[in-house]
Amino acid sequence: MRQSRFKRILIGPIFLLLSVAISFAGFELLCRVLFPSYSPEGELKFVTNSDGVPLAPRGTTAFMWKNTGDYNVPVQINSLGLRDHKDACSIEPADLVVVGDSFSFGHGVKEPERFSNLLEKSLNRKVYNIAIPTDFDGYAKLVQYVEHCGAQVKNLLIGVCMENDLQLYSRVSIAARKAAHTATRSWLPFMRFKEWLSYDSTAYRLITTQIHIRPALTRLFTGIGLIDDNIKAGLKNIYSEELIRESAQKLGDLAERYDSWIVIIPSRMLWAGGNEIAEDRVHREFVQALRSRNLKVIDLRPDFEQSGDPLQYHFKFDGHWNAAGHRLAADLIAKAMHP
């Protein structure tokens, strides 16, 4: 009797969930037919090869797209799985090789707009970009990857993203480090579901785009936490002498094998988000730790701040540099390398 009553209690919610799932699936299929431009098919994704090297799918044309309207950019990936029209296997000792994460990769901008491409013109030398979103371990693997196919890497420019490159490298896996570094979210299961939708659902992308182009709806959904504010979504550093020491050691291990320049890409959290004091201390002490190792460091922070509005060099809703940010970075790097 009790079991029968328990079944009756469960049957309603079960049918409700099934109805919602079927309805969403039907709406998803309809959106894929009627609005193919919002489909996640063909969007840029990254993979790791059997040697643990992070790459993009080889020989493909994908796109980077933001539902806020910040960018919709085609991305050509060469046969090595890198975003560069040149073959990195043919790198010669006189060439400059750029490695780094999504900033150096040029997330959100066209390939000719990246600071590495602009540097090639201003320095009048070949510049190869082998950047992929990863961390210091991944940067080392990317350099080894092109060396194994014949690249003669001598001159290296390493882009350091201060929002997520500094890690306790000796402790845990890359995945665990990234998860631990991410700002705590109160609705973690929901946020994971939201992330899955953003990568795989046409309906979700269509709906969120319509919300973002309507300021009143954007304010409403941001206010209740369903849309992340550009700054609040950023990664915050927690000050730790161990963090700075291990990160400087790991980066130094790579940089000291080559004639290297290290470009410090300042965190947006220096200027907003409520963590400014810790970010300032981490930034200053990390730069000093690198310079104490006699590494050549190009700290972009002072010149980005000189304008009085350093966030103008980032997309409005996305944390990466816009084309103006890449132009400023290219000018500053070129001046530092050839004063």
> Are both 8 and 145 inside the same structural domain?
no
Q: Tell the residue number behind the tokens 């979103």, with chain if given.
A: 133
In this structure, the number of other CB atoms found within 10 A of the CB of residue 265 comes to 25
> Are both 159 and 192 inside the same structural domain?
no
Distance (Å, whole) CA 284 – CA 133: 24
Worst-scoring range by mean pLDDT, 18-32, 162-176, 268-282?
A: 18-32
Provide the pLDDT confidence category of residue 96 given band limits of 50, 70 and 90: very high
Tell me what pLDDT residue 54 has: 94
In a domain, 303, yes or no: yes
CATH number of the domain within which 165 lies: 3.40.50.1110
Tell me what pLDDT residue 182 has: 42
Confidence check: pLDDT of 231 > 90:
no
Tell me what pLDDT residue 108 has: 96
Contact 156, 261 (CB under 8 A): yes
> Are both 208 and 317 inside the same structural domain?
no
Provide the pLDDT confidence category of residue 50 given band limits of 50, 70 and 90: confident
In a domain, 229, yes or no: no
Provide the pLDDT confidence category of residue 316 given band limits of 50, 70 and 90: confident
Provide the pLDDT confidence category of residue 213 given band limits of 50, 70 and 90: low
> Are both 156 and 194 inside the same structural domain?
no
What is the mean pLDDT of the segment spanning 296-315?
96
Q: What is the pLDDT of residues 234-271, one digit of tens each?
A: 678 889 999 999 999 999 999 999 999 999 999 999 99
Provide the pLDDT confidence category of residue 67 given band limits of 50, 70 and 90: confident
Question: Both tokens of residue 2?
Answer: 């009790």
Tell me what pLDDT residue 88 has: 97
Question: Both tokens of residue 127?
Answer: 């510049």
Confidence check: pLDDT of 339 > 90:
no
> Are both 190 and 167 inside the same structural domain?
no
Q: Over the chain, what HEC string results?
A: CHHHHHHHHHHHHHHHHHHHHHHHHHHHHHHHHHCHHHCCCCECCCEECCCCCEECCCCCEEEEECCCCCCEEEEECCCCCCCCCCCHHHCCCCCEEEECCHHHHCCCCCHHHCHHHHHHHHHCCCEEECCCCCCHHHHHHHHHHHHHCCCCCCEEEEEEECCCCCCCCCCCCHHHHHHHHCCCCCCHHHHHHHHHHHHHCHHHHHHHHHHHCCHHHHHHHHHCCCCCCCCCCCCCCCCCHHHHHHHHHHHHHHHCCCEEEEEEECCHHHCCCCCHHHHHHHHHHHHHHHHCCCCEEEECHHHHHHCCCHHHHECCCCCCECHHHHHHHHHHHHHHHCC
Report CA-CA distances (Å) from 99 to 64, 85, 159, 281, 327.
20, 15, 6, 25, 18
User: Please, what is the average pLDDT of the chain?
Assistant: 84
> Are both 149 and 286 inside the same structural domain?
yes
Contact 319, 163 (CB under 8 A): yes
Question: Both tokens of residue 98?
Answer: 């750029």
What values do phi and psi take at 195, rounded to 5? -60, -40
What is the mean pLDDT of the segment spanning 73-81?
96
Distance (Å, whole) CA 237 – CA 278: 7
> Are both 28 and 58 inside the same structural domain?
no
Domain count of the chain? 3
Q: What is the pLDDT of residues 159-210, one digit of tens each?
A: 999 999 999 988 754 444 444 444 334 444 555 666 666 667 776 665 666 6
Diameter over CA atoms, the chain: 86
Of 204, 208, 234, residue with least CA distance to 221: 208
Q: Which residue has the higher pLDDT, 330 or 202?
A: 330
What is the mean pLDDT of the segment spanning 279-305?
97
Tell me what pLDDT residue 9 has: 59
Tell me what pLDDT residue 226 has: 55
In a domain, 309, yes or no: yes
Q: Which residue has the higher pLDDT, 207 or 119?
A: 119
Boundaries of domain holding 172: 47-177+236-337
Confidence check: pLDDT of 233 > 60:
no
In a domain, 74, yes or no: yes
In a domain, 113, yes or no: yes
Tell me what pLDDT residue 171 has: 74
> Are both 106 and 62 inside the same structural domain?
yes
Provide the pLDDT confidence category of residue 232 given band limits of 50, 70 and 90: low
In a domain, 39, yes or no: no
> Are both 119 and 103 inside the same structural domain?
yes
Of 161, 121, 146, residue with least CA distance to 51: 146
Q: Which residue has the higher pLDDT, 10 or 76?
A: 76
What is the mean pLDDT of the segment spanning 327-334?
98
Tell me what pLDDT residue 237 has: 87
> Are both 122 and 249 inside the same structural domain?
yes
> Are both 9 and 52 inside the same structural domain?
no
